[in-house]
Structure 1
């Protein structure tokens, strides 16, 4: 996989955070903040993996977040992370019906996170966007979606107004896709890795 320097730095940072969380877990397996950070690091690292490895890491994150909820079922950031994990699973599932099961589970976790912390705008936005996710999934799995993302225009017989409407629709889809990615990326900031006392990664 070809990585941009910034992506490589992120991967190194989250791999270091994952390892630090693993070490902390060995000393204190009931530290729910550590478990949540560990799951967050796994979700971030999953973005750099093959599809199969990505699914495995997401499942690993889900199991850690479920451990958190066994100890404290009201931990809102863990509920929110579970919503993100199930959403990621859904987008990795080509079958629309199977994906919808994941989307429904994700929406339930987002609702619970909002219920625990109603003033949190990130949780509210996640819940709003999750309602659009199944439709977006269907669009993404339609033949030719890749060409839409590249902004291919219609044939010569297409009128300019139809082209404009198609371009607007494609832009809306692209906006939703990137909106979701950006939203999920907020995971890092929200989990507060800066406060987790993770030592800086070694200089390469």
Structure 2
């Protein structure tokens, strides 16, 4: 769907603006808030640590606002679960990460309870139980990469790193994770991305035309 990251980012910037317009026209439009929050979450995946964290928190705020309008909105809960999971992997403290993963699991459980046949919800719930294990493995990989970099005199080692999760001087990685992460935790980000695109499409938001 997207030719490169810049096209993807432009799509979700446009989606945020469209959702804002829809909500301004009708402040009871829970779907607009969900699309707004979902688009912010997608944009967070294109940003570095501090900005990513801020965008995720803004996303959660919009999604919770949607739930005050429509408490049973499953898409809102689903996006909140992905937001807390993403936020967990950005934490430098294990306790803080586990707190976010616990919040995510509770939300995914609520989604499964409402729609037990939904395989996506069930898979997310299953994998969320292993999130803390993935977090430990990711941190170990990052530490080993840093150590290898120091031994080689500051060169890169062990995959791409960003300043967000303890790396420094590496190539940009919006979530501060190494390439290795995609074998362990990429399911969360991939499903979140697919879900975000689906939410935008469901709301009739299209990517802006190229000039």
TM-score, normalising length: structure 2: 0.78
Deviation, structure 1 residue 40? 0.7
The unaligned stretches of length 5 or more in structure 2 are: 149-156, 160-178
Aligned to 1:34: 32
CA separation of 1:96 and 1:72: change in aligned 2, threshold 3 A:
same
Aligned to 1:154: none
How many Å separate the matches in 1 of 2:158 and 2:71? 40
Aligned to 1:177: 185
Q: CA RMSD in A?
A: 2.2
Q: 1:135 aligns with which of 125, 133, 136?
A: 133
- Greater percentage in helix: 1
How many Å separate the matches in 1 of 2:181 and 2:40? 27
Q: 1:71 aligns with which of 44, 69, 72?
A: 69
Aligned to 1:119: 117
Aligned to 2:209: 202
Deviation, structure 1 residue 117? 1.3
Q: Deviations over 1:75-127 (max 9, x none)?
A: 11111111001011111101001110000000000001111111111111111
Q: 2:56 aligns with which of 55, 58, 63?
A: 58
Tell me which of the two structures has the higher relative contact order, counting C-alpha pairs closer than 8 angstroms and 6 or more residues apart.
2
How many Å separate the matches in 1 of 2:207 and 2:190? 24
SS in 2 for 1:48: coil
Alignment size in residue pairs: 180
Aligned partners of 1:149 and 1:174 also within 8 Å: no
Deviation, structure 1 residue 71? 1.8
Aligned to 1:82: 80
SS in 2 for 1:179: helix
SS in 2 for 1:203: coil
How many Å separate the matches in 2 of 1:145 and 1:120? 38
Q: Following superposition of structure 1 onto structure 2, how do residues 95-174 of structure 1 map, counting pairs within 5 Å?
A: 95-142=93-140, 143-144=143-144, 150=159, 174=182
How many Å separate the matches in 2 of 1:173 and 1:132? 13
Deviation, structure 1 residue 145? 5.4
